[in-house]
A and B are shown apart, each in its own frame.
Chain A
Amino acid sequence: MGTLFVKGVSKLYTPSDVLEGVSILIEDGRFRAVGKGIEPPPGAEVIDGGGLAATPGLIDPCTHIGVYPLEWEYGEHGVEKSDVATPHLRVVDAVDPYDPAFREARESGVTTVGVHPGSYMSFGKLVDETNIMPGTTAVYRTDGAPLVEEHGVVVAMGEHVKRFFEANKLAPTTRMGMAALIRVAFRRAREWMGKKPEERGVDPVSETLARVLRGELVAYIHAFSSRDIAILTRLLRSLGVERMVVVHGAESHRVADLLKSYGVPVILGPIVFSRRSVELRELDSSLAAKLEELGVLFSLTTDHPTIPIQYLTLVAAAAVGDGLDPIKAIESITLRPAKILGLDKELGSVEPGKVGDLVLWSGDPLDPSSRVVYTIMSGEVVYSRGG
């Protein structure tokens, strides 16, 4: 890996501080130095940052990139219908690295994405489906390489699950039945953990849930209504699950105190989307400012392909239009998702020692007139405008 020197950017959003006229040195894939008065080492590739704004590589922690290819002809890609709970399915085993969305992500400054099994949301309800535990999530670099093969387990509750089960005549059919099923699955996993290794046999479901209980995997709670968020956070905490993240969370502002008391952050959105079901009634771009005011840690998401990944900055801009501070909005697509993923030691801000993911913009990153001029991943230019 080489040495890259970005000379004198007009504005660097670290993201929490805005620094003017600083240079950025990236060596061996990591930020080495940030500041005024640093010089390029001999042999370094130099990019003139004059007139450009810089941010860390953008992060969308919940997408379905690679799971639903652009033109699928038939087949269910994100949800198994063979069972009502399939936490042992690994999304990493079914991500198409040639999905053009990876390229569109790089062109839009997105360098890291979470990839979740389960459904994306669609205005047409046909594909809006998921079982209770559709599988494990992964974290990908947008060059198509997995960064964390198994990052969390999706646990879903709400209209989408009920509708999917009803359409496929699957049971249980109530939330109490689904909760009972989750409780039993985790109980089996506990029992499995208590066995001697040689007596455990092949039990991929328990093995996966044991990793959740040990805190190695995050429980991603896919829920919209305050009711479903409350049901699942309380249930999982009572079963001993420590690491929980709410995804979507259209009514998370209603359960802010509960989320804060459990230390559960929210991957919010997509906040620009059809409120096409009862549980989405309160979905709005003003929710970001509301959660900020309530002190709940959140990040934003496109839920690609629900909203195409290239519009991540527009989604953040819409949050600003409805009252969120612009710096917080940039944080919510960089540092905050890194924190929520537990990867903020490596990603999410421009600081010496962190992975050298940097985006250079022709202007304010949240302005639709601005263009990505360079996307740099681990110190390598992976996209340049007109290049």
Chain B
Amino acid sequence: MKAVVGARIITVTGPEIPEGVIVIGDDGRIAEVGSVQQVRVPKDAEVIEAHGLIAAPGFVDAHSHIGVVPEGIEWEYADVNDFYSPVTPHMRAIDALDPYDPAFTHAVQGGVTTVYTGPGSANVIGGIGAVIKTWGRSPEDMVVIPEAALKMALGPKRPREYRSKMPYPTTRMGTVAVLRTWLRKAREFAEGRLKPDKLDEEEKAMLEVLVRVLRRELIAKIHLSTSPDEILAVLRLIREFGLRATIDHVFGGHLMADEIARSGVPVIYGPPMIARVAAFFRYVDDRTPAILYRKGVLVSVMTDHPVIPQKHLRTLAATAVKHGLSPNEALRLITINPAKAMGIDDRVGSIEPGKDADIVLSRGHPVKPSSRIEKVLVRGEVVFSSR
């Protein structure tokens, strides 16, 4: 047993506790949370002294490619985009994940403890991404949900010089058409009108994944490029097929805030702080998350690692503070909101009994980039301590 004692606790889902205690069980989960007056520190507990520090839940990034594409190394190790075909639902990021990517160490130092990492956006249907911890006792121990979401990507696709199984669509409407066709095929397959004995094994493997998306067992994680019309197209697709989805990047989302709010679909913005130099970035505006937040949208921010290094997730949340959110509101963009968007809010995203003891202890508010992160716990283990 362990106990974090004396910190000001930002629970995220409940009120702040000015001077609190977090009791952590041997199972790595939070056993009890409360003020120093309310909660008795168990006698045998190892005490983590935290007076003068702020305790926040470990940060969650709902859109990253950590471990699937390393930083600073060329294509030999980049495994996010496979040009085998524009439709590859049967590929899985977990099968290409490098658990020894040094970015995991940096992520922990930056307080990021849980990430969704998955395939890229070169394909219309890119493959299955995983939810993982940034630290584990073993590579297997890092994995939270090996098959968490199926990556789909709107926007025009670049024609590839590879001998791919199917041609790549090159327009925005072409991409939507490919996606709709495959979702319809999956529906036929699910409803028994497309007989398995008429299909080869590869096609079956692809359709089986898509059927799980139609049954809402897998999240449809839908990437947009930068054109606001894609927001309307994606909302149509989500309605048409009843998908459990997230809309990722959502550049220009502030222009369609009401439509997004009405749909109730979670969105993951970003990454913020990127260069807006190209005609197709004309709708990129880092005010988007703050505006969507005010409309009641379940909004998160992403690093899209390696686009912005994983450890800087909180600095990206700080951009939302620049654009009008309070630090505690911005903290939601990297904790409970991405946890809800990925359906893992029963395990992470807040400091509550029963959840994983993923805790960031900082000197100063954690979304202020100047605040030093002093300690990071993953499942109750102290995995980072500042020198």
Contacts and interface: CB of A to CB of B under 8 A. Distances in A.
Interface of A: 68-73, 120-123, 127, 272-281, 284-285, 305-308, 310-311, 314, 317-318, 320-323, 326, 329, 366-369
B369 A68 contact: no
Contacts of B368: 317, 321, 366-369
Contact of A308 (B275, B306, B327, B373): B275
Main secondary structure of the interface of B (DSSP, over half): loop
A314 B318 CA distance: 8
A71 B285 CA distance: 13
A274 B308 contact: yes
A274 B274 CA distance: 10
Contact of B72 (A71, A123, A280): A280
B321 A368 contact: yes
Nearest to B371: A321
B51 interface: no
A73 B369 contact: no
List the 5 closest A-B pairs by CB distance, nearest first.
A320-B370, A368-B321, A317-B369, A368-B318, A317-B370
B85 to A, nearest CB: 23
Given A308-B286, A317-B369, 5 more contacts: A71-B281, A72-B277, A281-B72, A317-B315, A368-B368
B276 A70 contact: yes
Interface in B274-328: 274-279, 281-282, 286, 306-309, 312, 315, 318-319, 321-322, 326-327
A346 B287 CA distance: 35
B372 interface: yes
Contacts of A329: 370
Contacts of A320: 369-370, 372
A353 B178 CA distance: 67
Interface of B: 71-74, 106, 273-279, 281-282, 286, 306-309, 312, 315, 318-319, 321-322, 326-327, 330, 367-373
A311 B370 contact: no
A275 B71 contact: yes
B309 A274 contact: yes
A120 B275 contact: yes
A327 to B, nearest CB: 12
B279 A305 contact: no
A274 B307 contact: yes
A272 B72 contact: no
A307 B273 contact: yes
Given A68-B277, A120-B277, A320-B370, A276 B308 contact: no
Nearest to B386: A323
Contact of A275 (B274, B279, B309): B309
Contacts of B321: 368-369
A281 to B, nearest CB: 4
A326 B370 contact: yes
Contacts of B277: 68-70, 72, 120, 122, 127, 305
B306 A274 contact: yes
A276 B315 contact: no
Contacts of A123: 274, 306-307
10 contacts: A71-B278, A71-B279, A72-B279, A120-B277, A272-B312, A276-B306, A314-B318, A314-B322, A320-B372, A366-B368
Most chain A CB within 10 A, of B74, B106, B306, B370, is at B370
A273 B304 CA distance: 12
B276 A314 contact: no
A160 to B, nearest CB: 14
B308 A273 contact: yes
